[in-house]
Amino acid sequence: MLRPGRDNLALGRPGVNVSLMRELPVTLYMGNFYDQTTASITPLDSRDLLPLFAFCMSNSFSVEIRKIDQKLNVTPATLIKIAFDLDYWKKIAAEEYPHGLPKPYANDPTQWIFHGHPCGSVIWNEETKWTTHGPLRTDDTVLQVAIARLLGYRWPAELDAEMELAEEQREWINRCEGVLGHADRDGIVCLPAVRGERRAVDRLEVLLADAYGDQWSATTRSKLLESVDHAGKDLGSWLSDKFFIQHCKLFQNRPFIWHIWDGLKDGFSALVNYHKLDYKSLETLTYTYLGDWITQQKKQISEGIDGAEARLAAAEALQKSLELILEGEEPYDIFVRWKPLEEQPIGWHPDLNDGVRLNIRPFLSVPDVKKKGAGILVHKPNIHWKKDRGKDVESAPWYNLGPQLGGAKGDRINDYHLTLAAKKAARKS
Coil, helix or strand at residue 334: coil
The single-letter code of the amino acid at 213 is G
Residue 272 has pLDDT above 90, yes or no: yes
Residue 42 pLDDT greater than 90, yes or no: no
* pLDDT at position 242 over 50: yes
Mean pLDDT for 212-240 is 98
pLDDT(407) > 70: yes
Residue 304: pLDDT band (50, 70, 90) is: very high
Q: Is the pLDDT of residue 9 over 70?
A: no
pLDDT in tens, 103-145: 999 999 998 899 999 999 999 999 999 999 999 999 999 999 9
> Distance (Å, rounded) from C-alpha 148 to C-alpha 272?
10
Q: Is pLDDT of 312 > 80? A: yes
> Mean pLDDT score of the chain, rounded to an integer?
93
Question: Any idea which of 18-22, 106-110, 257-261, 309-313 has the lowest mean pLDDT?
Answer: 18-22
- What is the Cα–Cα distance from 317 to 182, expressed in whole angstroms? 31
The pLDDT of residue 171: 98
Task: Output the pLDDT for position 2.
Answer: 38
For residue 178, which of 210, 212, 144, 146 has the smallest C-alpha distance?
Answer: 210
Q: What is the CA radius of gyration of the chain?
A: 25
Higher pLDDT, 424 or 22: 424
Q: Give the pLDDT band (50/70/90) at residue 3.
A: very low
User: What pLDDT sits at residue 66?
Assistant: 87
Contact at 8 Å (CB) between 158 and 176? yes
pLDDT in tens, 166-185: 999 999 999 999 999 999 99
- Alpha-carbon distance of 217 to 411, in angstroms, equals 56
The strand pair at 38-41 and 130-133 is best described as unpaired
pLDDT band at 20, cuts 50/70/90? confident
Poorest-pLDDT segment among 31-35, 44-48, 280-284: 31-35
For 127, 134, 175, 247, the CA distances from 107, given in Å and listed in that order, are 20, 10, 14, 16
Maximal C-alpha separation, the chain: 82
Model pLDDT, residue 8: 63
pLDDT band at 4; cut points 50, 70, 90: very low
Domain boundary assignment for the chain: 15-96, 182-365, 388-428
Q: Dihedral of CA 25/31/37/40: which sign?
A: positive
Phi, psi of 311 (to 5 degrees): -65, -35
Confidence of residue 306 (pLDDT cuts 50, 70, 90): very high
Strand 122-125 relative to strand 257-261, pairing = unpaired
Cα 218 off chain centre by: 29
First to last CA, the chain: 34
Residue 359 pLDDT:
97
Question: pTM of the full predicted structure?
Answer: 0.90
Give the pLDDT of residue 17.
85
Model pLDDT, residue 30: 75
Mean pLDDT across 92-104 = 92
Residue 193: its pLDDT value, please?
97
Asked whether 371 and 237 are in contact (CB, 8 A), the reply is no
